[in-house]
Amino acid sequence: MVQFGPTPSPGSIFLASKFIVEELPIRLAKKVKDLDNAPLGLDQQPSTIKVKNWYAQSFQELTGLPKPAIDENLKKLLYQNNGGNNNNQNHQNGHAQSVSDVEEQPHIKEEIHKIHDSLEDNPAINNIFSDDGIVVRHNHHHSLPRKAKDPLDNTINRTSSPTYGQTYFSPCPTNIVWPKEVYDYNKLVCEALEKIKKRHDATVATMAQGVKEWKTLNKTVLVNSQIQTFLDRFYMSRIGIRMLIGQHIALNMAQNSPTKQRISTLINGNNEPKKSQRSNYVGVICTDCNVGEIAEDAIETAKYICEEYYGLFEAPEIKLIAPQQDINFMYVPGHLIHMLFETLKNSLRATIEFHIPKLKQNYMKQHPDAKYEEIDLNDLEFPAIKVIISEGTEDIAIKISDEGGGIPRSSLPLIWTYLYTTVDETPILESEHTNQSSFKAPMAGFGYGLPISRLYAQYFGGDLKLISMEGYGTDVYLHLNKLSSSNEPLP
């Protein structure tokens, strides 16, 4: 995705548009099928059906787009970097040949089985502690199928995929005049993706409503483990779809921006502040993402929501501690700010609600005339929350420490389940809200903050961990993979 650079070529965008029009319907069709097979009657809930229909509609729109016509002249322009031939086809044919060769040689097939079995039995790869943040699992193991299947079957199935062997980015010249068809097709695909993105903005909230409907119907408080697993898979694949769509729309915008920037500079002079220049962005990815700056943005947003919710002039202090100044790495700032914002909201709420009774009692001792109910929260001084950022060779770790009273050990497994919340009354998702993306984020109550944040961290090979001391506070550890070494976790 980053290979496009800050000013992508229209030709590269054209090939990427062709790729995305073939790749996205595969993912959307899988979502429709998954929602059709949602466990324990979740598939029957009105909100689940609504989400499924959105995916089906998006699938129809993408598959209905007219295919671009590529004549000989355009083919030469698009593929001149590889001698005028599309190497994807050669790559596919070559790979299919190698698979058939292996099938005809039983001793090679047997050897693959042996290697596969040794990986299955390796305690460093498959054990109950494999996700404790200490054991490192190399991603190429994940592509191996389970024992019950032939290790070759997976490869053969993948080679039949329309996008197998193709890449999202293909290098194309930037200093030539591209024919009108290229720009027209890029615009057509971008507009279709913008429409789809807007349609699916409310998917998380609407699925939350579906789970709520399921809980009401089944008269249960907690989400069943089957539904939990289903939702993890569902939301993880949604992150992948949103990443593809968001990146492609942003690349199309970047493709048009250099000319606009030059005109703006000629007319107005270069008066833009340095921070607003997005030369270190490729689409939604920042190649030089400053973790401290993003943490500051998340802190300000969380404090604002907190002040509005509790009627405070100023939220509890949040101290940002970064021993190594200016920690920068390649990441998606939108994902990072989401994870930090959700975690900080939890810490602020816990800190305020845990300390209100204690601080009010202390206030009454110092002011004997004061009545408990009439004490203004702005007269109380809450303990600070700490955000500590550290950089290692593999990870960038962010620890958020609060003194919000902690979580009982019996409740710790529940915090990762969807729709588990400590709020007495869950905010109502009104029907008009689930059709728009701009409805205001509540301080708490949906029970989606932590599980979704953990999926965002895991999408790029990181993780989110939580350690709590009941009666004192909670430490949340956000690990971000610095090496960019993970594969996309496709369910």
Residues annotated as catalytic are 338, 342, 345-346
Interatomic CA distance for residues 294 and 367, integer angstroms: 41
- Whether the Cβ atoms of residue 189 and residue 17 lie closer than 8 Å to each other: yes
Burial of 140 (0-12, 13-18, 19+ CB in 10 A): exposed
Alpha carbon separation from 107 to 104, 121, 149, 153, 154 (Å, rounded): 9, 21, 18, 17, 19
Interatomic CA distance for residues 94 and 197, integer angstroms: 36
Alpha carbon separation from 285 to 139, 171, 330, 365 (Å, rounded): 22, 19, 7, 54
Interatomic CA distance for residues 475 and 491, integer angstroms: 30
Q: Give residue 83's region: left, alpha or beta (phi > 0; psi -120 to 50).
A: left
- Sign of torsion, CA 138 143 146 152? negative
Alpha carbon separation from 10 to 57, 178, 185, 187, 247 (Å, rounded): 28, 7, 10, 11, 15
Alpha carbon separation from 65 to 60, 68, 164, 241, 253 (Å, rounded): 9, 9, 21, 18, 21
Interatomic CA distance for residues 154 and 167, integer angstroms: 19
Can you give the C-alpha Rg of the chain in angstroms?
Answer: 26
Beta bridge partners of 390: 397
The label of the residue with tokens 């005028």 reads: 84
- Sign of torsion, CA 479 485 486 488? positive
| Among the listed residues 385, 303, 301, the one whose alpha carbon sits nearest the alpha carbon of residue 337 | 301
Phi, psi (deg, nearest 5) at residue 168: -65, -40
Cβ partners under 8 Å of residue 75, min gap 6 = 84
